[in-house]
Chains A and B, each alone.
Chain A
Amino acid sequence: MEVLDLVPVWTVLLALAVFYYVVFDGFDLGVGMLYGLAPDQSMRNAIMDSVAPVWDGNETWLVFGGLGLLTAFPLAFAIIIPAVYFPILVMLLALIFRGVAFEFRFRHERLRRFWDGAFCAGSILATIAQGVVLGAFIQGFKVDGRQFGGGSFDFATPFAFVVGVALLAGYALLGAAWLVLKTEGALQDWARRAGRLCLIGVLAGIVVVSVWTPLANAGIAQRWFSWPDIALLAPVPIITAVIAVVEWYALTHRYELLPFLGAIGLFLMSFLGIAISLWPMIVPYRYTLWQAAAPESTQAFLLVGTLFLLPVILMYTAWSYWVFRGKVRGDVGYRP
């Protein structure tokens, strides 16, 4: 009894969850990278404090994204995750180091430097690993029936690592923009300068990946450059260029919120670009969203709860951001 097709609903929900994760854990992973480059200890403390109350909630969206994919499109989960066995391993271990560093660095004096390093290196490795997963996803996987049919190192191509580095610049830009928003004085100025460098890196990354993708993939090239698709797709690079100019302007003037919004805008356009290129595939070039979908009763069962709980979650997440609103205060964080 086909009453309502839930696949589009879940596609939108999952896309929103992944995008939310990318923006929110993106900025706190980015903050983690900048942490290692910050000029002095007091700045590092302020950087850490700017994400201390929220990082845990942000990372929860990774779990939700993973479990959402598992529930709504289990076939995709069962094929993609084994295919990126090692990037996932690196990401999980890096997130472990990074996560416990919040707690350990202030309480383990002798190893403070080790955990400082772990926080920064963990953030970098986790980001590269996520970028590699994305790169591998765009490349596509060798599929054997309902299982991944390739080897565990198939993911490791130059293209995947380039996407990893591009994502590094992207998260660092989000992190710098977050610091512009949450800090003041010398640290804010430093974050602006860092942000401009990151922006250059991001634009370079977007250009390289955008040129490489159609060259490496005839299917995508055909979709991009055939009429009328090219007219429909053309706004994406144009809007991206406009946002890039605005972002540069925001980072060179005294705007506080605009750099963060601009960085989100750049991510949104990249996200849309990938989505348009791959639609309607969830296991690229093999299974569509509909072919990989869970039985309707599974999707419906979780949807009922999600539609009820997600607004509640967003409400209390907003509340916890509200509690810690404004500039970073010296007395809120992992030390007095």
Chain B
Amino acid sequence: MTLDPVLLSRLQWAWVISWHILLPAFTVGLASYIVVLEGLAFFTGRDIWLRISAFWTRIFAVSFGMGVVSGIVMPFQFGTNWSRFTDATAAVLSPLLAYEGLMAFFLEASFLGVLLFGRRLVPAWAHFFAAVMVAFGTLLSSFWILATNSWMQTPQGYKLVDGRFEPVDWLAIIFNPSFPYRLLHTVTAFYITTAFVVMGVGAWLLRRQRAPDDARMMIRMALDLLIVLVPLQMFLGDQHGLNTLEYQPAKLAAIEGRYDTVDPVPLTVFGIPDDAHATMHDDVEIPDLGSLILTHSWSGRIKGLKEWPPDQRPPVGPPFFCFRIMVAIAFIMLFVVAAGQVMRWRRRLWQSSRFLWLLQYTAPLGFIAVICGWITTEVGRQPWTVYGLLRTADSVSPSLTGTDVVISFVCYVAVYLIMYPTGIAVMAALVRSGPLAPGLPHRHEGGLPSQPFESAARAVPNSPR
């Protein structure tokens, strides 16, 4: 068996990006949540906001630190493993990445220190300002990195010179056709992911009667946000789908598991894709519904994958299955949020330990949906890195041997398998320690006490400890 540097580089990329994206999926939303809490604390002066904010800021510090170090890995991958992609696209894409660094990373990094350690060193307004800047930084970061990714999906505003892309119109490059949809869809996904985590942690605290006032406030705030965002996200997803149909029809065909062109199109609920024979096995279909969903008309036509030569088709399996998981999660989320609001309206929310249990176990759903969405869009883009123009196989560094990439891949796997479980354990310990008791001098958000007697002082009065 020969080791293929292209396949291995793709696996390595998938590995480092998938783990990395979990952190922005959490920190983008959490940074904004901390701004809201810090703002409420600043303007109302009530202790509860400060407690909740300090609690989440401690968790934010851990996840953000992990996000930074796993993020530094990413731009170097372009050079180490994808140098031909870099040579071809740098003139167009690199300023977008550099702007992310200039606008977002510096903003986040500088103000993070003040947010974490500066509460007693700067005036209250400056601390609030630091929180705003960190959150603003996370959103700017999303803007630029998604502009970059979107250009790879729907390139425009360039000219080709000697096989390399050169910029012609920067506004066209940044605001390429799929960018607005991808940006809104992704950032909304990040907010939803965070809100589900906040809700799940609130439920966990409440079931143990730890800081119950704070826990109820967390759940209330999350439910109010989610009842707006979850339906909005379904709408945005649908719009994103229409955009994909227009600009990346082969990806849409893969998502739908559609090899043959037909109209009206049935909706394939399930099936086993077989790329080699270009056919679906054991498929379950609902007539006409596909046309309605995909084209918003009963008789819309969808091109099947057979319209493209075999070497221009994406693999069907990953987009097909991941898309279905993502959509299923959306409906579960809608159910949970709607049920939560109804129970709250009927004043039964806090009594139902079964529902709190449900909130606790649906907390990680957002992460799964984000990963699935990402796989759908990235594998659906194959076999191209720049859609329709630059092949993935022509993007890899020519000097790499399969063995080189195996070594680096194994190293990344090993390090991430140490870092992530430890990080999750550390964050779980922070959750267990709960929000601080009111009236205690405010510890800065940077860490846990190093002495046992201080731990005792941190316990919330009504906790069982």
Q: Which residues of A contact B (CB under 8 A)?
A: 45, 52-54, 56-57, 59-60, 62-64, 66-68, 70-71, 74-75, 77-83, 85-86, 88-89, 92-93, 95-97, 99-100, 102-104, 106-108, 111, 144, 146-152, 294-295, 297-298, 301-302, 305-306, 309-310, 313, 316-317, 319-320, 323-324, 331-336
B200 to chain A, nearest CB (A): 20
Once A66-B75, A82-B83, A320-B114 are accepted as A-B contacts, the answer to whether A96 and B95 lie under 8 Å apart by CB is no
A103 to B117, CA, bound (A): 13
Q: Say yes or no for B352: interface residue by CB 8 A criterion.
A: no
Identify 17 residue pairs between A and B in the complex whose beta-carbon atoms are under 8 Å apart, listed by A's number. A66-B79, A78-B87, A79-B83, A81-B78, A81-B83, A82-B400, A85-B80, A86-B407, A96-B69, A100-B422, A152-B399, A152-B401, A297-B167, A316-B111, A323-B113, A335-B446, A335-B448
Interface of A (DSSP majority class): helix
Once A66-B75, A317-B106 are accepted as A-B contacts, the answer to whether A295 and B400 lie under 8 Å apart by CB is no
Q: Are A70 and B415 in contact (CB under 8 A)?
A: no
Report the 9 A-B pairs with minimum CB-CB distance, sorted nearest first: A81-B79, A74-B90, A53-B113, A99-B69, A71-B94, A334-B447, A57-B109, A82-B397, A78-B87
List B residues 228-267 near A (Cβ within 8 Å).
none
Residues of A within 8 A of B97 (CB): 67, 70-71
Q: Which residues of B contact A (CB under 8 A)?
A: 61-62, 65-66, 68-73, 75-76, 78-81, 83-84, 86-87, 90-92, 94-95, 97-99, 101-103, 105-107, 109-114, 116-118, 120-122, 166-167, 170, 397-401, 404, 407-408, 411-412, 415, 419, 422-423, 425-426, 429-430, 443-444, 446-450, 454
Q: Are A74 and B447 in contact (CB under 8 A)?
A: no
Q: Are A301 and B106 in contact (CB under 8 A)?
A: no
Q: Which of A56, A68, A102 has the most C-beta atoms of chain B within 10 angstroms of its own C-beta?
A: A56
A146 to chain B, nearest CB (A): 6
Residues of A within 8 A of B120 (CB): 331
Q: Are A88 and B83 in contact (CB under 8 A)?
A: no
A53 to B87, CA, bound (A): 37
Question: Given A108-B422, A295-B167, A305-B102, 15 other A-B contacts at CB below 8 A?
Answer: A45-B450, A53-B113, A57-B110, A70-B98, A71-B98, A89-B408, A100-B422, A103-B61, A103-B426, A148-B397, A313-B106, A316-B106, A316-B107, A320-B113, A336-B444
Residues of B within 8 A of A59 (CB): 68, 72, 109
Once A77-B79, A77-B90 are accepted as A-B contacts, the answer to whether A93 and B412 lie under 8 Å apart by CB is yes
Q: Are B95 and A298 in contact (CB under 8 A)?
A: yes
A142 to chain B, nearest CB (A): 9
Q: Are A100 and B72 in contact (CB under 8 A)?
A: no
Residues of A within 8 A of B443 (CB): 336
Interface of B (DSSP majority class): helix
Q: Are B105 and A63 in contact (CB under 8 A)?
A: yes
Residue of B nearest to A41 (CB): B450
Q: Are A85 and B404 in contact (CB under 8 A)?
A: yes
Q: Are B449 and A335 in contact (CB under 8 A)?
A: yes
Residues of A within 8 A of B81 (CB): 82
Residues of B within 8 A of A298 (CB): 90-92, 94-95, 166-167
Q: Are A74 and B87 in contact (CB under 8 A)?
A: yes
Once A88-B79, A147-B397 are accepted as A-B contacts, the answer to whether A64 and B94 lie under 8 Å apart by CB is no
Task: Return the contact of A111 from the options B71, B105, B114, B422 (Cβ within 8 A).
Answer: B422
Q: Are B68 and A107 in contact (CB under 8 A)?
A: no
Q: Are B422 and A149 in contact (CB under 8 A)?
A: no
Residue of B nearest to A61 (CB): B106
Residues of B within 8 A of A297 (CB): 166-167, 170
Once A57-B113, A64-B105, A103-B62 are accepted as A-B contacts, the answer to whether A302 and B84 lie under 8 Å apart by CB is no
A149 to B415, CA, bound (A): 29
Once A107-B447, A152-B401 are accepted as A-B contacts, the answer to whether A62 and B72 lie under 8 Å apart by CB is yes
Q: Are A295 and B166 in contact (CB under 8 A)?
A: yes
Q: Are A324 and B113 in contact (CB under 8 A)?
A: yes
